[in-house]
Structure 1
């Protein structure tokens, strides 16, 4: 949908626009760097595959200014009791430490895994209500020590 009054800027609403996402990221990174002095950014990707090459689980995260933010962590249902979630999380924390991070943040819906993160030393810092089904988005934080754990 486009709103054009014949003068000034035009507002366009639609599906995700990868070009727009890239440009907004570029602009916000520049703004954030100026505001904080922290410019190093990175991405972490961890993947576990079985003997046939099928995905068992994985994690994606970002690093910036000593902070690691976990975006996604998922383990296939038939592998969840095998400890893969913890191994993947510990690998991400180790990689974050290697990159100079001393803290990690993540959010998890109440029907997902906030208890998992709490068992791994994360503390709840807040909740956003209004998730469908009466659930909430739980925000968690962990200070990384020098040693994995």
Structure 2
């Protein structure tokens, strides 16, 4: 969908747009870092591979000031319940502390693993409905080193 305008901005609606995502991330990073007086967030990742070099699981996130946010955590189906999720989280927490973080956040849909994070010492900080299937998005927080 496009809204034409001969004299002003044009509005377009579409699908995935990697260039747009990259630009928005850059613009918001400048805005956010200026607003709080901190440098840009730093990426963090933790991976587990099997002896063949195949991915068993991984975690991605970011560190910004004293906050580490987990963006994605996944463990291959045949390796779930083998402790890899806990090890990935512990490794991320240790790295976050090494980088000066005092707090860590993560969100999980109710059909995913909020109980897993609570078992690691995270406390529920909020919930939002509207997730397909009648589920909720659960936001969790942990004070590191406590």
The TM-score normalised by the length of structure 2 is: 0.95
Decide whether the 8 Å contact of 2:65 with 2:101 is kept in 1: yes
Distance in 2 (alpha carbons) for counterparts of 1:46 and 1:118: 20
Alignment of 1:1-149 (within 5 A): 1-145=1-145
Measured on the aligned residues, the alpha-carbon RMSD in Å equals 1.2
Distance in 2 (alpha carbons) for counterparts of 1:44 and 1:6: 45
Give the gaps of 5 or more residues in structure 2: none
The TM-score normalised by the length of structure 1 is: 0.93
Distance in 2 (alpha carbons) for counterparts of 1:66 and 1:93: 12
Distance in 1 (alpha carbons) for counterparts of 2:70 and 2:40: 17
Runs of 4+ residues deviating >2 angstroms = none
How many residues matched? 146
Superposed displacement of residue 40, structure 1:
3.8
Decide whether the 8 Å contact of 2:29 with 2:40 is kept in 1: no
Superposed displacement of residue 68, structure 1:
0.7
Superposed displacement of residue 5, structure 1:
2.3
Give the gaps of 5 or more residues in structure 1: none
Decide whether the 8 Å contact of 2:43 with 2:62 is kept in 1: yes
Per-residue CA deviation, residues 61-109 of structure 1 (Å, 9 max, x unaligned), is 0111211110110111221221111000000011111111111111000
Distance in 2 (alpha carbons) for counterparts of 1:73 and 1:112: 11
Superposed displacement of residue 131, structure 1:
0.9
